[in-house]
Structure 1
Amino acid sequence: MFLFQILKQHALTLFLFTKSDIKTTLIPITILALCAAPVHHPSYIPETMFWIWLHLLQFDVSNQTLDPEEDALNKRDRPVPSGRITLRDAVILRWTLVPICWALSAAYSLQVFYSSVALSVLTGIYNELHAHAGHWLVRNMVNAAGFASFEFGSTLVARYDRSHLDKAGYLSVLFSAGIFFTTIQAQDFKDTEGDLAIGRQTLPIVFPSFSRKTVLPGMMGWSFLLTYMWQVDVWTGSVFIGLAQITGLRFLVFNSRASDQVSFYVYNVWLTMAHALPGYWRYYHKAM
């Protein structure tokens, strides 16, 4: 019973490291992987989610050991500022997770292993080498490359043949990386105040007015392209494009922190739908 309590406490600590990224990273990437693969057996679903979560944990632990003082002020429920784990132990966990992620990935295929290595390298560039606080263009590029590595590896894990993707799989990852590169500023508006305090140079900070004008055309452009490429029906396409328009207009019209948080939630609904479209094409058109 005592051992169970200890394991439960550790499991909760690990979960809290990733809690804030469940809806923004774990769910959208899982949906893309399952739709782009396609999945040949139900057992691949939890495997895929665990692979994504474990690598997300690696990233989040790395990120949350960089500036614990900031988290102590703004995000006190995180494991380090809340005292669930010491900073020293969190740093040890951060580097222990690297070989664990690599070993798990190598058990699937060499290609999944390469994705895991790429994620570890990009995590180090983004966090320890401070790309997150550098020029917004570099930050966007590293972000897009990181998500592409997440998606490439997780889509392989979700497949029966874990050594390569088909054309639809490659296109899914390519389109998603493009979306993140051109619209990632949607997640930065709500964090402008905190980013300013630690010297980050996000697009909303460098170009406050212009950056808000980039969301609508970016989302609309991708909506029309994906609707065409995945041969979406008129009703589904209208909902998808309409959601992009509503989200983009929200960022233009409302600019409070609370409004930007809501707009970001709506953006994630649109993003999740964008990630599901390869499944629409694969299961609808290929069945015809």
Structure 2
Amino acid sequence: MNFLYILFLFTYTDFKTIFFPVLAVAAVLGPVKSNKSVVEAALWIWVHLLQCNVSNQRNSIDEDALNRPWRPLPSGKVSIQQAIILRYIVIWACVACSSLYGVQIVLISLFLTAITIIYDDYGGATHWILKNLCAAIGYAIFEVGATVVIGPSLSLSNTAIQGICYSAIVVLTTIHAQDFSDTAGDATQGRVTLAIYAPYKSRFALAFFLLFWSLALSLQWHLSNILTVPYVGYALFVGWRYMWYQGASADGKSYVFYNIWLGMTHLLPLWRFRT
């Protein structure tokens, strides 16, 4: 039981940023084959999220000791050597889990492993361009895998392909929203995030893309005016918060609002099925 709790702690902070958003995207784009497939997709997402987080957190122990001391490594629940061993065990667990759904999902799983290695072991996390690119590709891989697992066939519909592509480019252009609250920690790790590289311009770019994508995707998914107005208005609010309220605490709260916007954005393709 304690072991399962430790695994949960590795993934806790990404339930709101990856687990639930990706599961929502898969449920919308799949579409859902059965209740059993929802459970299977949730398990697939979580196992792969565990792989990414174990790999990432073994490189950020000092940072987590300041900001998230409850995590397994800084709290001493797991040693670095144990984390390294766990990482490779989970990689094989991901492959085994994916093999239940065919070669295609195994390849998707291995692709995610490759992106994780680039991000954590070959400097992907240290520069804002690679960091955002890896994040966007990673999101897309999660969504492709989960959508196939949750859906009735091994192929993606045109709507699913469009939804995942839009999701990836939205993440690519806005995911730096997560970096503003942790510039001090990133600086200690030698990372050059967009929030560090261009403090003001990155906030302006975020506000711009929040508004741009809200308008563009409202048109793309033929959202009704009664839904477009509050959706675009909320994007303006989130962008305004990032521009007006700055500092670790304020940016942390703004990131919560950003994730709500991102969740709303992921659900937009659902409007296509209103009839």
TM-score interval for Structure 1 and Structure 2 normalised by the shorter chain: over 0.9
Name the SS of the counterpart of 1:62 in structure 2.
helix
Match of 1:111 in 2: 104
Match of 1:80 in 2: 73
For the residues of structure 2 that align with 1:231 and 1:48, how far apart are their CA atoms? 28
Name the SS of the counterpart of 2:35 in structure 1.
coil
The within-5 A match list for 1:86-105 is: 86-105=79-98
Match of 1:268 in 2: 259
Match of 1:242 in 2: 233
For the residues of structure 2 that align with 1:112 and 1:276, how far apart are their CA atoms? 23
For the residues of structure 1 that align with 2:64 and 2:247, how far apart are their CA atoms? 22
For the residues of structure 2 that align with 1:215 and 1:154, how far apart are their CA atoms? 27
* Residue 118 of structure 2, aligned match among 121, 125, 136: 125
Match of 1:173 in 2: 164
Can you give the 5+ residue segments of structure 1 that lack an aligned partner in the other structure? Answer: 1-7
Displacement of 1:67 in angstroms is 3.4
Name the SS of the counterpart of 1:79 in structure 2.
coil
Match of 1:139 in 2: 131
Give TM-score scaled by structure 1 length.
0.93
Cα pair 2:28 2:269 within 8 Å, conserved: yes
Displacement of 1:16 in angstroms is 0.3
For the residues of structure 2 that align with 1:69 and 1:191, how far apart are their CA atoms? 13
For the residues of structure 1 that align with 2:77 and 2:129, how far apart are their CA atoms? 35
Deviations 1:116-162 (A, max 9, x none): 111100000001112101x211211111111111111111111010x
Name the SS of the counterpart of 1:169 in structure 2.
helix
* Residue 224 of structure 2, aligned match among 233, 246, 252: 233
* Residue 185 of structure 1, aligned match among 166, 172, 176: 176
User: Partner letter of residue 217 of structure 1?
Assistant: F
Can you give the 5+ residue segments of structure 2 that lack an aligned partner in the other structure? Answer: none
Give TM-score scaled by structure 2 length.
0.97
Q: Select between 101-110 and 116-125 the one with higher mean Cα deviation.
A: 101-110
Displacement of 1:217 in angstroms is 1.3
Match of 1:5 in 2: none
Match of 1:160 in 2: 152
Displacement of 1:185 in angstroms is 1.1
Residue 15 in structure 1 maps to residue 11 in structure 2:
no
Cα pair 2:63 2:188 within 8 Å, conserved: no
Name the SS of the counterpart of 2:100 in structure 1.
helix
User: Partner letter of residue 225 of structure 2?
Assistant: V
* Residue 49 of structure 1, aligned match among 42, 50, 58: 42
Displacement of 1:223 in angstroms is 0.7
Name the SS of the counterpart of 2:59 in structure 1.
coil
Moved over 4 A (4+): none
User: Partner letter of residue 44 of structure 2?
Assistant: W
For the residues of structure 1 that align with 2:17 and 2:85, how far apart are their CA atoms? 26
Name the SS of the counterpart of 2:192 in structure 1.
coil
For the residues of structure 2 that align with 1:23 and 1:92, how far apart are their CA atoms? 27
User: Partner letter of residue 119 of structure 2?
Assistant: Y
The alignment-based identity, stated in percent, is: 36
Cα pair 1:38 1:279 within 8 Å, conserved: no
Cα pair 2:54 2:87 within 8 Å, conserved: yes
CA RMSD of aligned residues (A): 1.1
For the residues of structure 2 that align with 1:69 and 1:139, how far apart are their CA atoms? 20
For the residues of structure 2 that align with 1:45 and 1:88, how far apart are their CA atoms? 34
For the residues of structure 2 that align with 1:199 and 1:277, how far apart are their CA atoms? 37
Displacement of 1:73 in angstroms is 3.3
Match of 2:272 in 1: 281
For the residues of structure 1 that align with 2:97 and 2:80, how far apart are their CA atoms? 26
Displacement of 1:41 in angstroms is 1.1
Displacement of 1:280 in angstroms is 2.4
User: Partner letter of residue 32 of structure 1?
Assistant: V
Name the SS of the counterpart of 1:264 in structure 2.
helix
